[in-house]
Amino acid sequence: MTEPGGLAAARPSPAAQERLDHLRALLEARGLTGVVITFQPTLSWLFGGRFHVNVASEQGLAAVLVDGGRVACLVNNIEAVRLAEEEGLFADEWLVVPWYDEAERRRRLAAWLQRPGVVEEAAVADDLRRLRARLDDAARRALSALALDAARAVEEAGRSLQPEDPEWAAAAAIARGCLAVGAEPVVLLAAGARRALRHRHPVPTGDLIGPWAILSVGARRGGLVASVTRMVGFAPVPEEILAKHRAVIRVDARMLRASVPGATLAEVFECAKGAYAEVGHPEEWRAHHQGGLAGYQSRERRADPAADEVLTEGQAVAWNPTIAGVKSEDTALVAPEGARVLSDTGAWPMEMVDVDGWGILRPALWVR
């Protein structure tokens, strides 16, 4: 057991201290004395950094005990210094175990959990998810910058795409654009015309793009995730597809307009169902989820008929209505007049959609 030299006195940033205060208030409200955090999104929320090596990992690289007065960190010797120097990890007490001594790591975790009133993260998972979804000023600024970068990556891929390109090439271009600005493409979808009509989650293949394509990304940076979709076509795009796209952006616009403080996720979901019926596709909502709360996961909570969570101003949402062959998606912040889109670069063709007298811009299916 060692301590990383010179790092024991590291203190939290103002944003991290505010999140720590919220976490301690949660513990007090639940009658608990501490919680052991191990989930990658929660570690990223608390400390503001990356707590993974494998981008698909749900478990983080450290275990952190937060109680009423101290923060203790259990981490292996590979990761301790890097996480403290580069990812914002701080602690009052460092417990650094050799990477090969899993028994010692488990023993230390067990000792924490034997303390009266200390629970695993899973015991308060819903409470922590709500804390993560309540974005503070620093998180909103970071998400706004990320959403623009993610949109630029997708749009640049759309500009360079050719109908004879394979879907893999489109995905590679999106990934390159994300990685160039320090973002990880944790969700990466690309479908040409054939597969866009068949699959709602089209992970890329060697299929050729053809007359049109759907390009989507969920980009993660500093733990936050922004989701963006754009559609590009090559003349002649079938009128049926263009009509479907006009329909799906109307559904999306209605969902954005309904995303106001005080609305529940279920109410926005019901709004979407009504909008699908209005545009002549009443059953399409059954074929794919409609999105939901965003933040430190691509979806912190999906909207469905039972989702009674109430939206608050400044929360992030990412709606993604689909009709076979088309999709509309951006990341936005809940606001009194409806969600404010963060991922509008101003460089992609847009269409104005009227929703009860409100004009809402949505990305066009750009026929190049």
CATH topology for 137-367 is Creatine Amidinohydrolase (3.90.230)
CATH topology for 14-133 is Creatine Amidinohydrolase; Chain A, domain 1 (3.40.350)
Say if residues 108 and 95 touch (Cβ distance below 8 Å). Answer: yes
Q: Report domain extents, the chain.
A: 14-133, 137-367
The CA distance from 360 to 254, in Å, is 9
pLDDT of residue 10: 62
Q: Which H or E run includes 43?
A: helix 40-47
Q: pLDDT tens, 143-196?
A: 999 999 999 999 999 999 999 999 999 999 999 999 999 999 999 999 999 999
Say if residues 155 and 366 touch (Cβ distance below 8 Å). Answer: no
**10: burial class by Cβ within 10 Å (0-12, 13-18, 19+)?**
middle
Say if residues 318 and 298 touch (Cβ distance below 8 Å). Answer: yes
The CA distance from 58 to 338, in Å, is 32
The label of the residue with tokens 């990412």 reads 318
The CA distance from 122 to 135, in Å, is 21
DSSP assignment, residue 53?
A: S
Q: E strands within the chain?
A: 34-39, 59-67, 71-76, 93-97, 118-120, 184-192, 212-221, 224-233, 291-293, 301-302, 316-319, 322-323, 326-327, 330-333, 340-341, 350-355, 358-363, 365-367
3-state secondary structure of 337: coil
Say if residues 251 and 328 touch (Cβ distance below 8 Å). Answer: yes
The CA distance from 23 to 97, in Å, is 26
How many CA atoms does the CB half-sphere of 325 hold within 13 Å?
Answer: 20
* DSSP codes joined into one string, 280-335: T-TTGGGGS--EEE-BSSS-SEE--TT--PBP-TT-EEEE--EETTEE-BEEEE--
- CA-wise closest residue to 178 among 205, 158, 163, 156: 156
Give pLDDT < 70 ranges for the chain: 1-10
Claim: this prediction has a pTM higher than 0.85 = yes
pLDDT of residue 297: 96
Query: b/e for 46-75, b at 16 or more Cβ within 10 A?
Result: bbbbbbbeeeeeeebbbbbbbbeeebbbbb
The token pair at 269 is: 């979901």
3-state secondary structure of 342: coil
Instruction: Report the largest interatomic distance among the alpha carbons of the chain, rounded to a whole angstrom.
Output: 68
Query: b/e for 302-340, b at 16 or more Cβ within 10 A?
Result: ebeeebebebeebbbbbbbbbbbbbbbbbbbbbeeebbe
The CA distance from 183 to 185, in Å, is 7
The CA distance from 245 to 363, in Å, is 10
Say if residues 46 and 16 touch (Cβ distance below 8 Å). Answer: yes
pLDDT of residue 13: 84
**288: burial class by Cβ within 10 Å (0-12, 13-18, 19+)?**
middle
